Amino acid sequence: MTDDLLGDIEAQEQAVARVEELRAEIERHNRLYYDDAEPEISDREYDLLIAELSGLEKRFPDLATADSPTQRIGATVAGDFEQVTHEVPMLSISNTYSAEELREWDARTRKLLDVTGNIEYVVELKIDGVAVALRYDGGKLSYGATRGDGVRGEVITSNILTVKGVPAELPEKARKLGTHLEVRGEVYMEWADFERVRDEIEAAGGKKIANPRNFAAGSLKQKDSAETARRPLRVFLYAAGSTDFALPGTHDEFLKFIDGLGFPVNRERHVCASIEEVVAQTHYWEPRRKNLPYNTDGLVIKVNRRDFWPQLGVTSKSPRWVVAYKFSAEQAQTKLEDIQCQVGRTGTITPVAHLTPVFLAGSTISRATLHNEDEIKRLGILIGDQVIIEKGGDVIPKVVRPLESARTGKERPYVFPDKCPVCDSPLVRSEFEVAVRCENISCPGQVRERLLHFASRNAMDIEGMGDVLVAQVMEAGLVHTIAELYRLTVDQLAGLERMGRKSAQNVVEALEKSKQRPLHHFLFALGVRHIGASAAKLLAQRFENLDAIIGAPREELSQIEGFGEIMAESLHDFFANESNRALIEDLRTSGLRMPNTVYRPAGSALAPANSPFAGKTIVLTGTLAAMARDMAKERIEALGGKCTGSVSRKTDMLIAGEEAGSKLDKARELGVRVVGEEEFLKMLG
Ligand code: IVH
């Protein structure tokens, strides 16, 4: 074998590991961004991860997979709301960060269109909020939905109706044009409203809220729309979804058209005759964006002529007729008071900069992440330094550099600890990772993070078990392990500070309810390294129950599509550990059922060919006695059906439980097959 070839194989092996690592990391950030609305990194850093992965997939085409995050848009769709399939997918926008990149995009666009002269563009503000779709049929709002994963979103109609300016009905003139219109835009919250409501909620002992975007996202996903109505949400509409009539010829005219129908449209937009005018707009807005009453994270530049759009087409993730220009992160100067280490769920030690509080991009900053020991060295910061910090959009702020010229001689270097700051165990440095970890599985720092993860929405969804309560039950010595959560009693909880009997009862009920949580959520909740929500689902699809997963040899795990060696090993090691297996036994004794709602027996491909649901579009309505709605939905989907949120001519079947309302009427009106609970259960077999 020549050295060259050897080098290649080595490179390939390294690439395999890196690709897996990148995918796991990107999935994690996707969840943080889309599901939890708590991003940890900036869009730019995210783009760099995607670019690195995409580069490796190009260089080693064998490593490319259809479900790689480079091929998908992002979020997993959470389970609390009904879902709807977007007739026109809600794609994302690719980012640019400089005038140069904008000019390159313009050159590519002109080349594709075969235009030698200038192209007209519309420059809009990129509103930092939550994307929504509003669908009107016969002039009436039939649903409002989130973007979800871009293909399927969650139906949040009653919440959307509380957003200022969202019309429930369109004016007469709109109804004459066609039967349906879908408009898309961004729900957001103004700074002043955000600060007021945040302070009220925090003063009442509620959860800390990081920024207006997270708050808007959380508000739209309230189960009780009266709660959403208390949050002052607004919306700007800026795009069309599906329609059955011709829209105006240019985007600018389209915006005027929807403005004329009564939709809130942002007036801060500019039609530019060339890319140079677009660049001038970026210079105009960079210093002025601070003065806007809401947060923007950039500009959106769209080709004005809509007839050019189909000619330009789309890439796998974003249309070519639109591009975003991201503003550079806002910076501020402050003092690095101290560095303290935090312990994460898997024992990773993260150094955190403690700063003299300083106002930056809409909030007061007193902490910034330093990632790891190498980062502290790379930055060359000393405790006591004046430092420049920055914050891109809503992301956790970071330290950019020290101001060496401002040093007084009193600054001192930071010595990275060799013991865990929480439990004092010796820290372990692996030669393969920059991260340093505490390997004590019972370290209270880790336990706290694991409990929080276990209880979180996409995991066991234990309402009420957040930051504050977890800290309280740990401090009171009531809970040291996940299993002990299920031994909490109303009396114990009611004895905690600021906890009434009713709230205590609610928590115990939430714990009871979580015992029915499906297997894939449970697997995710365990917090096994590299096993995110998607990997957990793949496992549940492949294996009938938890025991089959625990007993699966590592080779079998690594053969699952979408799985790799690192994930297989991590899972295998987790279940090989005796205390982890004891934990699972303990949870079973407490009554956790872990029903598998997504299992697809081998050979069944996506669904048994004779499933009565295969290829059918199904709507669920009313209350089912035998199972929760999200469980019914998962069962249908596992059998090849597609669940949507509203009844239309495309609906094949309406599953009607008790107290079915307007959907049942509509189904009857349209002659859609209606199936009652008993029949439905028979169909599920
Ligand atoms: S146009 C094909 N216009 O930014 C996408 N999007 O980072 C059509 N956004 O998903 C969307 N302001 O949620 C458009 N003026 C604007 C926008 C905007 C904010 C959001 C939107 C999009 C995201 C991409």
Cα of 184 vs centre of ligand 1, distance in Å, is 9
Of 140-144, 166-170, 665-669, the poorest mean pLDDT is in 665-669
User: Does the CB atom of residue 240 touch ligand 1 within 6 A?
Assistant: no
Cα angle: 627, vertex 629, 634; to 5 degrees: 90
User: Would 609 be classed as within a structural domain?
Assistant: no
Tell me what pLDDT residue 77 has.
39
Tell me what pLDDT residue 605 has.
46
- 370 and 311 share one domain: no
Higher per-residue pLDDT: 312 or 214 = 312
- What average pLDDT does the segment 583-598 reach? 94
Amino acid at 387: V
Closest ligand 1 atom number to CA of residue 92? 10
Tell me the catalytic residues: 126
Give the confidence band of 411 by pLDDT, cuts at 50, 70, 90.
very high
User: Would 601 be classed as within a structural domain?
Assistant: no
The domain in which residue 494 lies consists of: 444-589
- 212 and 351 share one domain: no
Of 103-112, 308-317, 429-438, 439-448, the poorest mean pLDDT is in 429-438
Higher per-residue pLDDT: 268 or 639 = 268
- 118 and 217 share one domain: yes
- 87 and 225 share one domain: yes
- 133 and 277 share one domain: yes
Cα of 295 vs centre of ligand 1, distance in Å, is 14
User: Does the CB atom of residue 299 touch ligand 1 within 6 A?
Assistant: no
Helix (H) or strand (E) holding 355: strand 348-360
Tell me what pLDDT residue 529 has.
82
Give the confidence band of 17 by pLDDT, cuts at 50, 70, 90.
confident
User: Does the CB atom of residue 127 touch ligand 1 within 6 A?
Assistant: yes
> First and final CA of the chain: distance in angstroms?
58
Asked if 672 and 654 count as a contact pair (C-beta separation under 8 A), the reply is yes
Tell me what pLDDT residue 72 has.
57
Higher per-residue pLDDT: 284 or 601 = 284
- What average pLDDT does the segment 352-369 reach? 88
Tell me what pLDDT residue 78 has.
40
User: Does the CB atom of residue 188 touch ligand 1 within 6 A?
Assistant: no
| Burial class for 418, CB neighbours closer than 10 Å (0-12, 13-18, 19+) | exposed
Residues 284-327 have pLDDT tens digits of: 999 899 899 999 989 999 999 999 999 999 987 899 999 999 99
Residue 312 — φ and ψ, nearest 5°?
Answer: -80, -35
- What average pLDDT does the segment 640-658 reach? 87
Residue 603 has pLDDT above 70, yes or no: no
Residues 568-579 have pLDDT tens digits of: 888 998 999 888
Cα of 364 vs centre of ligand 1, distance in Å, is 27
Cα angle: 128, vertex 134, 136; to 5 degrees: 160
- 549 and 668 share one domain: no
User: Would 536 be classed as within a structural domain?
Assistant: yes
User: Would 137 be classed as within a structural domain?
Assistant: yes
Cα of 89 vs centre of ligand 1, distance in Å, is 13
Q: Which of 326, 346, 366 is the last residue of a domain?
A: 326
Q: Which of 20, 48, 71 is the last residue of a domain?
A: 71
Cα of 92 vs centre of ligand 1, distance in Å, is 7
- What average pLDDT does the segment 195-223 reach? 84
Q: Which of 24, 50, 71 is the last residue of a domain?
A: 71
User: Would 275 be classed as within a structural domain?
Assistant: yes
User: Does the CB atom of residue 300 touch ligand 1 within 6 A?
Assistant: yes
Higher per-residue pLDDT: 226 or 204 = 226
Higher per-residue pLDDT: 445 or 39 = 445
Tell me what pLDDT residue 420 has.
94
User: Does the CB atom of residue 263 touch ligand 1 within 6 A?
Assistant: no
- 103 and 174 share one domain: yes
Amino acid at 174: A
- 458 and 509 share one domain: yes
Residues 487-528 have pLDDT tens digits of: 999 999 999 998 999 999 999 999 999 999 999 999 999 988
User: Does the CB atom of residue 297 touch ligand 1 within 6 A?
Assistant: no
Give the confidence band of 204 by pLDDT, cuts at 50, 70, 90.
confident
Report the SS3 class of residue 349.
strand
User: Does the CB atom of residue 564 touch ligand 1 within 6 A?
Assistant: no
Which of 186, 301, 315, 321 gets mutated to test ligand 1 (max ligand atoms within 8 A of its CB)?
186
Residues 542-561 have pLDDT tens digits of: 999 999 999 999 899 988 87
- 190 and 299 share one domain: yes
Residue 2 has pLDDT above 50, yes or no: no
Report the SS3 class of residue 108.
helix
Closest ligand 1 atom number to CA of residue 131? 13
Closest ligand 1 atom number to CA of residue 91? 2
User: Would 433 be classed as within a structural domain?
Assistant: no
Tell me what pLDDT residue 433 has.
67
User: Would 544 be classed as within a structural domain?
Assistant: yes
CATH at 673: 3.40.50.10190
Alpha helix segments (H runs only) across 597-643: 629-638
Determine if the pTM surpasses 0.75. Answer: no
Residue 83 has pLDDT above 80, yes or no: yes
Give the confidence band of 8 by pLDDT, cuts at 50, 70, 90.
low
- 164 and 213 share one domain: yes
Closest ligand 1 atom number to CA of residue 43? 7
CA atoms of 648 and 618, how far apart (whole Å): 10
Give the confidence band of 247 by pLDDT, cuts at 50, 70, 90.
very high
The protein residue with its alpha carbon nearest to ligand 1, atom 16, reads 126
- 109 and 195 share one domain: yes
Tokens of 180: 């349906």
- 12 and 107 share one domain: no
Tell me what pLDDT residue 71 has.
65
Tell me what pLDDT residue 107 has.
97
CA atoms of 669 and 655, how far apart (whole Å): 15
Asked if 269 and 250 count as a contact pair (C-beta separation under 8 A), the reply is no
User: Does the CB atom of residue 187 touch ligand 1 within 6 A?
Assistant: no
User: Does the CB atom of residue 133 touch ligand 1 within 6 A?
Assistant: no
User: Would 563 be classed as within a structural domain?
Assistant: yes
Tell me what pLDDT residue 36 has.
57
Tell me what pLDDT residue 612 has.
83
Contacts of 65 (CB under 8 A, 6+ apart): 71, 561, 562
CATH at 165: 3.30.470.30
Tell me what pLDDT residue 66 has.
61
Percent of all residues in the chain with a pLDDT value above 90, rounded to a whole number: 54
Cα of 305 vs centre of ligand 1, distance in Å, is 18
Percent of all residues in the chain with a pLDDT value above 70, rounded to a whole number: 92
Cα of 487 vs centre of ligand 1, distance in Å, is 46
Which of 300, 320, 325 gets mutated to test ligand 1 (max ligand atoms within 8 A of its CB)?
300
CATH at 34: 1.10.287.610
Residues 177-193 have pLDDT tens digits of: 888 999 999 999 999 99
CATH at 336: 2.40.50.140
CA atoms of 615 and 618, how far apart (whole Å): 10
Tell me what pLDDT residue 608 has.
52
CATH at 541: 1.10.150.20
Tell me what pLDDT residue 1 has.
34
Average pLDDT of the chain, as a whole number: 87
- Count of domains in the chain? 5
Give the confidence band of 37 by pLDDT, cuts at 50, 70, 90.
low
Residue 671 has pLDDT above 90, yes or no: no
Residue 3 has pLDDT above 80, yes or no: no
